[in-house]
Amino acid sequence: MTRARCLALPTALSLALSLALMASAADASPASSSASSAFAVNKKVGADQDEPWWHHAVIYQIYPRSFKDTNGDGLGDIKGITSELEYLRDIGVTAVWLSPFYPSPQADFGYDISNFKDVDPAYGTLEDFDEMVKKAHSLGMKVVVDLVPNHSSDEHMWFKESAKGTEKYKDYYVWSEGTKDKDGKPVPPNNWVSHFRGSAWTWNDERKAFYLHQFAVKQPDLNYRNPAVVQEMKDVFTFWMERGVNGFRVDALPFLFETQDLSQDELPVEHPSIDLDKNDYDYYTHPYTMDYPDTYDMLHQWRELVDNFNEDKRVIMTECYTTFDKTIEYYGTKDKLGAHFTFNFQLITTVNKSSDAKDFKHSIDQWMKAMDWRWPNWVIGNHDNSRVATRYPEMADAMNMISLTLPGTAMTYNGEELGMTDAFIRWDQTKDPQAVNAGPEKYLRVSRDPCRTPMQWDDTTSAGFSTNSNTWMPTNPNYYELNVKKELATPKSHLNIYKDLTEARKTETMRNGKLETAVLGENVLQITRSLENADTYITLVNMGSWEERVKTEALTNKGTLKVYTASVNSKLSKGATVPDNFVIRPKEAVVLTTGEASGGTSAATTVQAGILLALLSPLLCMLH
Ligand SMILES: *[C@@H]1O[C@H](CO)[C@@H](O)[C@H](O)[C@H]1NC(C)=O
Ligand SMILES: CC(=O)N[C@H]1CO[C@H](CO)[C@@H](O)[C@@H]1O
Ligand SMILES: [Ca+2]
Ligand SMILES: [Ca+2]
């Protein structure tokens, strides 16, 4: 069942040591682990000076509508973000990424943009934005904005002019007159369907043609075969760089280009799931509308634009929900660079609450193996997915530990540092267009509203998000006990554990140390970060449903281990010396270290040291 332990250590001495460990592990079966995998962090040690800021960043995704309301209208705003930047700095966040805050009819909550170069009046003004960027920078934080290049709102001036046929704008979108049925009625040129169900083509009476929309009807696709559109979008990048932003998160990139031959129908997938019909996006394969070769070229042009703007280092991170290989391709090649990094959704898409430690190890290893010269990153949640604490019951700390102790850039969706959970949103309160389209029977399955409820700051009205008790989306009723204020005051809280983790990321080991992953015993995931002449950090997560026993000597040969930080459901206390042999509870997670516990000496260490001294002093006297 368990294979022999195999450590990848260089010297003969450590080989001997690991052989000894192997022997001891063999007779104490609970501590044995499967073969471990090792990955170097792809960077020269000591090259920190030249490193771009985003390499070891903790990037915090803010959903502006739900973060903080300062004028009592029940909607979050830019000033609210500015007012909470100190909080973010204090918990170890190094950059914020703002979901769209641009003027929008809000048909898809900001992803339908009617002006790419302004702030929606509901959220504030460009001056508020500048103020926010200035303050973030003065606190040593970076600001990344969301760019939505595939489509605009149908209320964008470009679309209105295009529909009229105005010369300058007539080819800004993808238009087709389609064909005619036998009664002379226009029919779309092909069978393409939108992500939100139904034909991807909608008839426009003014233009007397169909326009393409890979998403909502109110989100017409821009035509990137038109050099004027390419230039317009480059101007959008430049506009925000001039306002001081440090990077871009590019939305829905794989859908940028489509084939030019609009007569091509897409084929159904071979074994569609039974619930799917011809109006469902997942009913078809998408060779003509997704990951089109020209998209990679466009990304490369943006990379050059952003890299060459001035000496400051900026990041392009891309959102590509596609196959594993296609995802990796968005990094570009060494000769033709693409994104600085493309979101790694492995921990969302390939594993779930049923997965065991082996599945997790595989998911992590698969990504790391593909890295080579590329930079890793880890995403565990966002505004499109059920919250981490809901997807992985009792594992909020475990998931934060995994994403923050793996090498690379870590992403945190607002509220995940608190272990916020999905709220139940009634049908009559439902706002997400995807849920509204699904109807009252099916909406719960697809609704993204439950993960978009207001941020929980304290136990006052609307969780301190707004002075208004009537907020755009209801507050999760668990706010009376699950909030920033209470968690800051509770030593063993999700938030304080999160702070321990962001603190650990500042160490040389976490920045440059190699990574080893292993499965210990039946179901304990082990993530080890180590570096010569520096402290080792070991994350252990029991993915199983039963207690497991861990033998400390099987973990490292670098000496005594202390508890750096432990999940709220752990028996171990921060700072305590780890016993030779200990029990790890189901879903418990700990970070152990050969160095010091987070935040200096905790109460536990003081007590332990006291006991140790008391025990040692007679001995010392005798020696004297
Ligand atoms: C959960 O993940 C495992 C692999 O880790 C996979 O086999 C299984 O199908 C997934 N379950 C769901 C419901 O997605
Ligand atoms: C995670 C994310 O940003 N998803 C967005 C992808 O793009 C569509 C259309 O712009 C949005 O509806 C999603 O919210
Ligand atoms: Ca407001
Ligand atoms: Ca497109």
pLDDT of residue 33: 58
Centre of ligand 1 from the C-alpha of residue 355, in Å: 6
Please tell me which residue in 319, 432, 500, 548 is annotated as part of the active site.
319
Mean pLDDT rounded to a whole number for the chain = 90
Structure confidence at residue 603 as a pLDDT band (50, 70, 90): very low
Strands 514-520 and 524-530: antiparallel
Could you confirm whether 258 is annotated as catalytic? Answer: no
Query: What whole-number distance in Å separates Cα of residue 106 and Cα of residue 333?
Result: 37
Centre of ligand 4 from the C-alpha of residue 230, in Å: 12
Q: What is the DSSP letter of 49?
A: G
Rounded alpha-carbon distances, angstroms, from residue 305 to 57, 237, 536, 597, 620: 22, 8, 40, 44, 68
For the chain, the straight-line distance linking the first and the last C-alpha, in angstroms and rounded, comes to 53
pLDDT of residue 605: 40
Amino acid identity for residue 559 in this structure: G
352 lines ligand 1 (CB under 6 A): yes
pLDDT tens track for 76-86: 999 999 999 99
Average pLDDT value for residue range 475-497: 98
pLDDT of residue 104: 98
pLDDT tens track for 220-237: 999 999 999 999 999 999
Residue 213, pLDDT above cutoff 50: yes
Could you confirm whether 251 is annotated as catalytic? Answer: yes
> Which of 384, 445, 381, 470 shows the shortest CA–CA distance to 419?
381
Strands of 70-123, DSSP E: 95-98
Please tell me which residue in 108, 251, 258, 588 is annotated as part of the active site.
251
Query: What whole-number distance in Å separates Cα of residue 405 and Cα of residue 58?
Result: 11
Ligand 2, atom 14: closest residue by C-alpha: 384
pLDDT of residue 522: 87
195 lines ligand 2 (CB under 6 A): no
Atom of ligand 1 nearest to the CA of 356: 5
Strands 175-176 and 142-147: unpaired
pLDDT tens track for 260-292: 999 999 999 988 777 888 998 999 999 999 999
Rounded alpha-carbon distances, angstroms, from residue 119 to 100, 115, 125: 9, 8, 5
Atom of ligand 1 nearest to the CA of 360: 5
pLDDT tens track for 368-404: 999 999 999 999 999 999 999 999 999 999 999 999 9
Ligand 2, atom 4: closest residue by C-alpha: 384
pLDDT of residue 19: 38
pLDDT tens track for 567-586: 999 999 999 999 989 999 99
Q: Indicate which ligand has the atom closest to the C-alpha of 121.
A: 3
Residue 29, pLDDT above cutoff 80: no
Atom of ligand 1 nearest to the CA of 359: 5
pLDDT tens track for 291-307: 999 999 999 999 999 99
